[in-house]
Amino acid sequence: MIEHGPHKTAITLEVNGLPQFVDVEPRRTLLDTLRIDLGLTGAKLVCNMGNCGACTVLVDGVAVYSCLTLAVECEGKAITTIEGLAQDGVLHPLQQAFVQHDALQCGFCTPGQVLAAHALLARNPQPTEAEVVAGMAGNLCRCGAYRGIIEAVLSAAQQTGPQQ
Amino acid sequence: MQPFIHIDVANSEEVIPLLDARSRPLAGGTDMLPLMKEGIVAPERLINIKRAGDLRYIRADEDGLHIGALTTLDELDRHPDVRRDYTTLAQAAAEAASPQLRNMATLGGNLLQQARCWYYRGDFHCWLKGGELCHARDGRNEYHAIFDQSPCVAVYPSDPPAALMALEANLRIVGPQGARLVPVAEFLQPPSAERRTLHTLAPNELIVEVHVPKGPSGSVYLKAMDRATWAYALASVAVAANIRDGRAHNVRIVLGAVSNRPIRALAAEELVEGQLITPELARRAGETALAAARALEHNHYKLPLTRNLVAQALRDIMAG
Amino acid sequence: MPKVVKTTINVEGRVSEQFAIVEGAELPPWGEHEELGIVGYPAPRIDGAARVSGEARYTYDVQLPGMVYGRLVRAKQASAKITRIDVRKAKAVRGVVDVMTYENVPDIEMSGRQTRLLSDDVRFAGQTIAVVVAVDPYVAADAAALIEVEYAERPLVADPEAALAADAVKVQPDKPNNLLNGKPRIKERGDVAAGFAAADEIAAVTVRTPTALHNAFETHGCVAHWEGDQLTIYESTQHTFGVREFAAKKLELPMSKVRAVSTFMGGGFGAKFPGSAYTLIAATTAKRLRRPVHLMYDREGENLETGNRGQTLQQVKIGARRDGTLTAIEYSGISEGGAAMGWLPMLEGPASMMYRCPNFRSETSGVLTNLGPMAAFRAPGFVEGMVGLEAAMDELAHKLGMDPLELRRKNIPDTDQLEEKPFSSLPLDECYTRGAAAIGWERRSQPGSQSDGRYRRGIGMASQIWWGGGGPPAYAEMLLNSDGTATVMTGTQDLGTGTRTILAQVAAEELGLPLEQVNVTVGDTLQGPFGPASGGSVTTGSMTPAVRSAANDLRNNLCDIVAQMRDIPQNEIEIRGGMIYRRDQELASVREIMRKLGDVMLQGTGSRGPNPDDVSVVTSGAQFAEVEVDTVTGLVRVLKIVAAHDSGRIMNPQTFNSQIYGGIIQGMGLALTEQRIVDTERGAVLNPNLEFYKLPTIADVPQIENILIDIPDTKANSTGAKGAGEPGIIPTAAAIANAVADALGVRVGTLPITPPRVLEALDAQ
Ligand SMILES: Cc1cc2nc3c(=O)[nH]c(=O)nc-3n(C[C@H](O)[C@H](O)[C@H](O)COP(=O)(O)OP(=O)(O)OC[C@H]3O[C@@H](n4cnc5c(N)ncnc54)[C@H](O)[C@@H]3O)c2cc1C
Ligand code: SF4
Ligand code: FES
Ligand code: FES
């Protein structure tokens, strides 16, 4: 049994492969911890209520809404944010596909979209269009970049090819 | 959101002694956190049960299906046994919320989801929150009940429990006095003056397992939404039946999102029991199921909608 | 030599005369068949990598040393006077640094929506009544909950139709009939009575459109930061220079001391024009506290206070002769403006200018209610007005026994009937023809005939007209660096429309550099000259000529230098693909030449020239929708949209497509899912969130085919380009509503066409 709070307590998070040490109240969401305490502002706060998907990050590879996740729950788990996808300054193939297919306009929903797509392809490397639509259904886009998003995910899937 | 103490537990046994009126289990958090952000609930302690590995399993055996309370909706939707033999449950899970929410949301938490009524979730101290008045009754009620069961006209919002009712599932609930087994149909009750919730779990109890008896030969879940996906049901229907020699036996029809709790449409079940369900009989079953329904000012559409869904579900189940 | 010119500008139907300074000679427009190598070709966004990688810093993401977080506290009443507001408990919370209410906020007079920065006079639920500033957003929220407010409640009216009743509650004390300007706006030409008398058939419809919430994903707000007497405001805005002007004026600061920044912007859709209290509250608080202040709306506040597309009730009557020639149009409409309304959207716009009709009369009113105020929302008035007009056109076609498309084709206007000028270009006929072919218009049935089984299909269409030619003032500068790369600098902003990218394309094209060698800086008043507000689809038509002119200036300077260095005639020098040629002979790369000059920067300046006087510049087009209605659930699915829009020269087909797609998807939201829901008794908005305010999801999105019309409008400006931000949304809802009517055989006159409305219509059938 591990007890935290109600005041700030020290926790260690593994974010994009690096350990991060933060002092947080248990009530602090993972999203606010990433954005405010760690300066990782890629994940966006749009609704704060699980209604949009802009705050999507991966926790142990699973796509979740970080606005409905507490930071304290994530001790010992591997968190991937959008900042963690590019390697040595080279965009991840999914990110490249989003640029190539103009799968964004204002870009505010985009980090969440890319991570949702990442989780989708990890589970289903060769999705059909219907599977892409179903898998991306948890990420709204007010600018209406949806057609580009579908194309980007399908093309990224094709590029990476079937995985073993 | 009020500050609170957060306690991680490693297994279900550790939880019970920690539970009381001021301590709540935290599972996926997809309802708990919104409720806390809105200030509707403010527990002093959150008992994080997500690390209790003994609550997360799906086991199919002779006895039916055993689902640990921490099983996520996503796991339910993807489980091959659930899909094949308990289709209505897999479909209900698949149609709920969004992919990320299904990754997070557990079946235990889903059973306990509070009303999504906009007054309840908004700035109104309405009856279900402990106030005097149901604002929806004379206010905006397009998403509300057509079967009046309590002073509150909120609908029970979760999808999977209607499917569980059609499958006559039971809950295994553990409290300080030990375990009890209760049918989902009894567990979900309209709120009362003393108990302003849509369920009957005591504050010191934990749902540990959902048990679904061996499934019927066919089952289906139909959900109507006002956009293609990621919306609460306008109405839904779960139907389970054994189809033998072209006739439907042991038919169970459950209506969702029409009342404080999912409702068994007993008269309609009786009408079709043992019958060859023609489109005409399906239509009549729809009418029978809704005979006692009464619309509020803004939800007349729910009568034809729910009738249509019942008829469609019966046609679908006959079609196999 | 700068030259002062006077020119006419049309933004969203509001025409103004404007002085503008023009630098240098106006360039001859790129011709219709000009061979261009970069402009007109698809190019991925130059800021795409920043946006997909999380590197892009939006206003919401700005973090500065010592920064504190503001929280806007909302009124819960819809109509009341605050009698007491007690912030002592809030102030006592550890970590709270300031709390502002009407009692202590600086006294700055405002125009438009708010009269004071904060007021005790509450006119809608959700009005900001206090601002808490704390070291952390959670602390600010804790404190906000401890503010005690007592209200003297007043009666309220939260329904525009009820607000029109003779005995209705007054929303603003000086507006006895709750009408903007005290009376309807009337427009008239010809003689409508005579027109209807001459008609063989008359169709009349009544339609309603919902209040739509912008829900840009980044909310409104700003971060204010003082360094000495220098104020920097990071703001999520559609007009960076406007923020500077507003802040300087209201805070009585020299403009030279104010910098406004909006480098990345999370959507605006018309609601993010400068002039709101939060900017000034943040700036004054930051000054007092000597700390940067982050003050952003949350989703609920955004949806309650920062603007909306007001609901409408419209009646449209059209008469025509047997052959389909229109003889009269009568239009009446009301648009809800909420508790404060600055102007009335041009609801009557489509009815007055879409089709040729000599006799026209309209009566439109803005109606005040105790609800959040309206703001411009992507083609304000036209989206709504097109729903009414095109419903009436379909009904008229039905009465005439005529194909609805034929009826429209028959009435294509030959002049701009508002300005009595010819159009610079109006390829509507081409849009109709190509659009109809792509959707398979011939499959369209007689209404109601495709009515078998569970699913019913229908096809419908609607037309589009709008401005979008832009105009001066708009300026740009260019710098050529010693490594041969160039930077375009201008104070416009990129809301996500792709402005940066097309400006880079124009600069590269004109200068003769490869696209990769051109960078663009926008959204910072210290890093470029004035750029216009990004609204009314003017950015492309205003900015691309300015950038072309700057690039041309820079090119001339470069050629001049090469001529001197190589001692050759300047007019024999050409620059292509980053290489410098004397006629066909390669001399050196731009980079090599620049390197020889040491670390200098060559400059160019440019401006947008005046608009033509003798023609009216508009965009036009049509959309076709195919829908499928599920008669079991009442859900309408849009299967396909075909769009064909004239936006002049298409600068970048890829970002152009995105603009049109985005417009279509928002238009589909208005048609099918989006509506603000109000408890009118209580004056409460019940869905100021993304749970019950239903945006289209990815699964709602149809196949979209966008036909590129791509006819440079050489009379409009020197690039021949016009805007695309608004055209795409204008016909969508109208086309979908007509398609649903075709599928069902009855018209659902109230949008959005939700399952409840479809089921009720089917039930009544
Ligand atoms: C935007 C949105 C859309 C949604 N749409 C749908 C939908 O369409 N259909 C649908 O069915 N649901 C929908 N949901 C609801 C979602 O499915 C539920 O919130 C979720 O299932 C709850 O599970 P959880 O694990 O997150 O519960 P939590 O939020 O962790 O807990 C909910 C409640 O249950 C209690 N609890 C949790 N587990 C146990 C246990 N084992 N024993 C005792 N008490 C327990 C908690 O104390 C709390 O009171 C939606 C939610 C959101 C946010
Ligand atoms: S329906 Fe229930 S939850 Fe909604 S206002 Fe009435 S009492 Fe409250
Ligand atoms: S911000 Fe988390 S889902 Fe919208
Ligand atoms: S790109 Fe703007 S919200 Fe998706």
CATH of the domain at B259: 3.30.390.50
The DSSP output letter for B218 is E
Task: Say whether C52 and A100 touch across the interface (CB within 8 A).
Answer: no
Answer yes or no: do B198 and B74 share one domain. Answer: yes
Tell me whether A131 touches chain C (CB under 8 Å): no
B41 domain residue, yes or no? no
Best of B41, B113, B119 to mutate for ligand 2, by most ligand atoms within 8 A of CB? Answer: B119
> B154 alpha carbon to ligand 1 midpoint, in Å?
17
**C720: alpha, beta or left? (left if phi > 0; alpha if psi -120 to 50):** left
Q: Do C376 and C270 meet the contact criterion of CB atoms below 8 Å apart?
A: yes
Spans of chain C, pLDDT less than 70: 1, 112-115, 446-452
Q: If 0-12 CB within 10 Å is exposed, 13-18 middle and 19+ buried, where does residue C503 land?
A: buried
Distance B31 CA to ligand 3 centre (A): 13
pLDDT score at A32: 98
Per-residue model confidence as pLDDT tens digits over B274-284:
999 999 999 99
**Contacts of residue B121 in chain C, CB cutoff 8 Å?**
691
CA of A140 from ligand 3 middle (Å) equals 10
Subunit contact C56:A140, Cβ cutoff 8 A: no
Task: Tell me which residue in A98, A143, A148 faces C267 most closely, judged by beta carbons.
Answer: A143
User: How many beta carbons lie within 10 A of that of residue C249, not counting itself?
Assistant: 11
Q: Which ligand number lies closest to the CA of residue B114?
A: 1
- Whether the CB-CB separation of C644 and C727 falls below 8 Å is answered with no
Distance from CA of A6 to the nearest CA of B (A): 5
Q: Are A27 and A77 members of one domain?
A: yes
Number of domains in chain A: 2
Ligand nearest to C-alpha B163: 1
Q: Among all residues of C, which ones are annotated catalytic?
A: 726
B300 and B170, same structural domain?
A: no
Q: Is residue B7 a contact partner of residue B45, using CB atoms and an 8 Å limit?
A: yes
Are B192 and B269 in a shared domain? no
| In-domain check, residue A2 | no
Beta carbons of C661 and A114 less than 8 Å apart: no
CA distance B33 to chain A (A): 6
Confidence band for A163, pLDDT divided at 50, 70 and 90: very low
| Total of domains in chain B | 2
- Kindly state whether residues B99 and B238 are assigned to the same domain: no
Domains of chain C listed by start with CATH number? 3-58+470-607 (3.30.365.10), 62-154+220-296 (3.90.1170.50), 308-469+614-763 (3.30.365.10)
Cβ contact, residue pair C694, B228, below 8 Å: no
- CB of A67 within 6 A of ligand 3: the answer is yes
B183-199 per-position pLDDT tens digit: 999 999 999 999 999 99
Task: Sort residue B300 into left (φ over 0), alpha (ψ -120 to 50) or beta.
Answer: alpha
DSSP letters for C422-458: EBS---HHHHHHHHHHHHTGGG--STT-S--SSEEEE
Residue C602 carries which DSSP code? E
Give the closest-approach CA distance of C66 to chain A in angstroms. 12
Residues 6+ positions from C142 with CB-CB distance below 8 Å:
C93
pLDDT in the model for residue A161: 58
Specify the ligand 4 atom closest to the Cα of C267. Answer: 2
**Based on the domain organization, do B99 and B190 belong to the same domain?**
yes
DSSP codes joined into one string, C712-731 = --TTT-SS-B---TTGGGTT
Pocket lining: B156 vs ligand 2, CB cutoff 6 Å: no
Query: What confidence tens digit (pLDDT) does each residue in C88-137 have?
Result: 999 999 999 999 999 999 999 887 656 689 999 999 999 999 999 999 99
Q: β-strand C573-576 against C518-521: which pairing, if any? A: unpaired
What is the distance between the alpha carbons of residues B252 and B270, in angstroms, rounded to a whole number?
9
Does the pTM surpass 0.90? The reply is yes
From A53, A84, A115, give the residue that closes a domain: A84
Query: Number of residue pairs across A and C with CB atoms under 8 Å?
Result: 168
Chain B residues within an 8 Å CB radius of A64: 100, 103-104
Q: Does the pLDDT value for residue A164 go beyond 50?
A: no
The nearest alpha carbon in chain B to C761 belongs to B301
Nearest CA to ligand 3 atom 3: A50
**How big is chain A by its Cα radius of gyration, in Å?**
16
CATH number at residue B179: 3.30.465.10
pLDDT at residue C453, rounded to an integer: 87
- The answer as to whether B50 is a domain residue is no
- C673 to B226: CB separation less than 8 angstroms, yes or no: yes
Selected for mutation to probe chain B from A23, A24, A27 (highest B CB count within 10 Å) is A27
Same domain, B283 and B238: yes
- Residue A40 in domain: yes
Q: Which of B176, B192, B212 is the last residue of a domain?
A: B212
Which of B212, B229, B257 is the C-terminal boundary of a domain?
Answer: B212
Shared domain check, A63 and A26: yes
| C538 and C532 Cβ atoms separated by less than 8 Å | yes
Last residue of a domain, one of A31, A58, A84: A84
- Binding-face residues of B in 222-251 toward A, CB within 8 A: 229-230
Reported confidence tier of residue B215, pLDDT bands at 50, 70, 90: confident
Nearest CA in chain C to B139: C679
**Mutation target among C93, C539, C666, C698 for the A interface, most CBs of A within 10 A:** C698
Q: Which chains touch C (3 or more CB pairs under 8 A)?
A: A, B
H helices of C440-538, in order, are 499-511
* CB-ligand 2 contact for B145 (6 Å cutoff): no
B178, B212, B246 - which closes a domain: B212
Judgement on whether residues A23 and A66 belong to the same structural domain of the protein: yes
Q: A3 vs B5: CB contact, 8 Å cut-off?
A: yes
Question: What is residue C450's predicted lDDT score, i.e. its pLDDT?
Answer: 56
Distance of CA C711 to the CA centre of its chain: 23
User: Ligand 2 centre from B58 Cα, in Å?
Assistant: 35
- How many angstroms separate the Cα of B253 from the Cα of each of B214, C477, C622, C723? 17, 71, 47, 55
Residue of A nearest to B121 (CA): A49
Query: Which residue, A65, A84, A103, sits at the end of a domain?
Result: A84
ipTM: 0.97
Lookup result for tokens 């209604």 = A51
Beta carbons of C698 and A146 less than 8 Å apart: yes
| A153 shares contact with chain C (CB less than 8 Å) | no
Taking CA–CA distances from B7, the nearest residue in chain A reads A3
Structural domain for B263, as ranges: 218-319
Q: Does residue A102 share a domain with residue A68? A: no
CA distances to C451, C549, C610, C762 from C765, rounded to whole Å, are 12, 61, 56, 5
Q: Is the bond leading into C427 cis (omega within 30 degrees of zero)?
A: no
Amino acid at B171: L
Domain that holds residue A71: 9-84
Q: Are residues B233 and B106 in the same domain?
A: no
Q: Is residue A101 part of a domain?
A: yes
Contact flag C661-A144 (C-beta cutoff 8 Å): yes
Q: Are residues A78 and A105 in the same domain?
A: no
Q: Do A102 and A80 share a domain, yes or no?
A: no
Q: Are residues B181 and B305 in the same domain?
A: no
Backbone angles phi, psi at C446, to 5 degrees: -70, 145
Query: Is there a single domain that holds both residue A55 and residue A25?
Result: yes
Does A106 contact ligand 4 (Cβ within 6 A)?
yes
Is B177 found in the same domain as B107? Answer: yes
Same domain, B89 and B178: yes
DSSP characters for A29-61? BHHHIIIIIS--TTS--S-SSSSS-TTEEEETT
B127 Cβ closer than 6 Å to some ligand 2 atom: yes
pLDDT at B223: 98
**Do residue B4 and residue A56 have CB atoms under 8 angstroms apart?**
no
Q: Atom 2 of ligand 2 has which residue's CA nearest to it?
A: B152
Bridge partner list, C486:
C480, C518
Torsion, CA B294, CA B298, CA B301, CA B306, rounded to 10: -50
Which residues are CB-contacts of C299 (< 8 A; sequence separation ≥ 6)?
Answer: A46, A47, A48, A49, C219, C688, C689, C690
- C-alpha torsion angle, residues C59, C63, C67, C68 (rounded to 10): 60
> Which-ligand-closest: CA of B144?
2
Q: Are residues B299 and B255 in the same domain?
A: yes
Question: At C108, phi and psi to the nearest 5?
Answer: -120, 125
CATH number at residue A139: 1.10.150.120
Number of H helices and E strands in chain B, helices first, is 13, 12
Whether residue B153 is contained in a domain is answered as no
How many whole angstroms separate alpha carbon B68 and alpha carbon C632? 35
Q: How far is CA B38 from CA B112, B186, C721, C762, in A?
A: 17, 29, 48, 39
Q: Which residue of A has its CA nearest to C294?
A: A36
Q: Count of B–C CB contacts within 8 Å?
A: 93
Residues 28-67 of A with CB under 8 A from C: 28, 32, 35-36, 39-49, 51-52, 54
> C77 in helix, strand or coil?
coil
Rounded distance between C-alpha atoms, residue C431 and residue C623, angstroms: 8
* Residues of chain A with C-beta less than 8 angstroms from the C-beta of B46: 26
Q: Which DSSP helix (H) or strand (E) runs through C242?
A: helix C240-251
Provide the shortest C-alpha distance from residue B69 to chain A (in Å). Answer: 18
Which chain B residues contact residue C140 at CB under 8 A? none
| Structure confidence at residue B37 (pLDDT) | 98
Most ligand 3 atoms within 8 A of CB, residue of A32, A35, A65, A82 to mutate: A65
Q: Could you give the CA distance from residue A137 to residue B189 in angstroms, rounded to a whole number?
A: 32
pLDDT of residue C526: 96
3-state DSSP assignment of residue B108: helix
Q: Are residues B190 and B297 in the same domain?
A: no
Are A75 and A98 contained in the same domain?
no
Residue C123 contacts residue C337 (beta carbons within 8 Å): no
B117 within ligand 2 shell (Cβ under 6 A): yes
Crossing angle of the two packed helices A146-160 and C653-672, in degrees rounded to 10: 120
A130 and A147 housed in the same domain: yes
Assess if residue A129 is contained within a domain. yes
Q: Which residues pair with C230 in a beta bridge?
A: C227
